[in-house]
């Protein structure tokens, strides 16, 4: 799905907010263009995908899920998929509402970007 997208996280990082998993985030070309232009809001069609890997005693291990956020006309759509791409939770589910609530504190249009880009 996101092979060829720009990797936004230089190294996998442990993320308490993503269920304590290691994460690597990618951005599609629309989102990258917006970032490169220094815009403070993402255009419709911007998509970020965060691969999540289990923490095996403090070590990066198997990929278990992908969190995706896609900018739409009415705001961000949030989904969580399994490794095969099947949506496990999305839209207005309690989990996705928690994601949206946490991301409200991000300074760039609900998007947190790692400092080590």
The pLDDT tens digits for 53-83 are 886 776 667 888 899 999 999 999 999 998 8
Q: Is residue 23 within 8 Å of 12, Cβ to Cβ?
A: yes
Q: Is residue 77 part of a domain?
A: yes
> Which stretches of 31-99 are assigned E, i.e. beta strand?
47-56, 59-72, 75-81, 87-90
In this prediction, residue 117 carries a pLDDT of 36
Domain that holds residue 67: 6-103
pLDDT band of 7, cuts 50, 70, 90: very high
Eight-class DSSP state of 102: H
Q: Is residue 108 part of a domain?
A: no
Q: Is residue 115 part of a domain?
A: no
Read off the pTM. 0.86
Residue 16's alpha-carbon distances to 3, 36, 73, 117, in angstroms, are 25, 28, 30, 19
Average pLDDT for the chain: 86
Q: Is residue 113 part of a domain?
A: no
Q: Is residue 49 part of a domain?
A: yes
Q: Is residue 37 part of a domain?
A: yes
More confident residue, 28 or 65: 28
What is the number of domains present in the chain?
1
């Amino acid at each position: 799905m996101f092979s060829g997208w720009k990797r936004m996280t230089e190294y996998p990082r442990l993320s308490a907010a993503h269920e304590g998993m290691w994460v690597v985030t990618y951005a599609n070309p629309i989102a990258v263009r917006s970032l490169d232009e220094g815009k403070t809001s993402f255009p419709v069609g911007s998509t970020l995908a965060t691969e999540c890997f289990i923490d095996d005693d403090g070590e990066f291990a198997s990929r278990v899920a992908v969190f995706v956020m896609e900018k739409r006309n009415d705001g961000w759509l949030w989904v969580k998929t399994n490794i095969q791409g099947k949506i496990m939770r999305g839209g207005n589910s309690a989990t996705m509402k928690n994601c949206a609530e946490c991301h409200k504190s991000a300074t760039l249009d609900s998007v947190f970007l790692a400092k080590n880009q």
